[in-house]
Chain A
């Protein structure tokens, strides 16, 4: 089923993009040189992160879709559930990190 391949590739690429956004965001807050390096690409760190999230998602999707054989329903279902967990966990981690940082952590 052609759709399963696209769903699986999109879910895994989304998980990767979210993980990269969380890692790069926290990395940028912990390291001023890293944040300046991000800024050097587009003039603003957030614009760089925006493009990075899109590039990781699109490139990840194309690579995964072209490399994988037809995934079964169980594997695809698991990728959707993992995407939900990653999105919720990523949101909690970012809010928690900025609360911690604000309180002087």
Chain B
């Protein structure tokens, strides 16, 4: 089982899969906030799924990055036609990712407030923007990941 989970394509798949789960969960939370949906339980589930998604993506992506990226992928990209994919996209991606867990936890605390309290406290708009920021950063990092993978693929051709 451990052998399967630590296989390179599986690690990349889990990294991406958990990231998609996190992004979708915060888009779901954004929809709940905009629609003034009444269920606090549903908001908290969305925020919890978001935290789990980003945590899973961090653990599997981090393991792949430490164990394989530096020795196997980075040299190929640097020798290929788009060395900036490592120098800019990967360098920025691995560090911007670290913003996501604190933001996700803050959104979890905000998800505990129901629609009426969010509105009366003046938190509805900032919470919606923060949820959009979490999903947006996740999508930006996803695009960077695609560029990095494509640069590695084209690097060997």
Contacts and interface: CB of A to CB of B under 8 A. Distances in A.
Interface of A: 3-4, 6-7, 10-11, 13-14, 17-18, 21-22, 25, 44, 46-47, 49-50, 53-54, 57, 61, 73-74, 76-77, 80-81, 83-84, 87-88, 90-91, 94-95, 98-99, 101-102
Contacts, number: 103
Contacts of A4: 121
Contact of B94 (A3, A46, A74, A83): A46
Q: How many residues of B sit at the interface, in one of the four size bands? A: 20 to 34
B66 A47 contact: yes
Is chain B's interface secondary structure helix, strand, loop, or mixed overall? helix
A83 B106 contact: yes
Interface of B: 58, 62, 65-66, 84, 87-88, 91-92, 94-96, 98-99, 101-103, 105-106, 109-110, 112-113, 121-123, 126-127, 129-130, 133, 137, 140
A84 B87 contact: no
Contacts of B121: 4, 73, 76-77
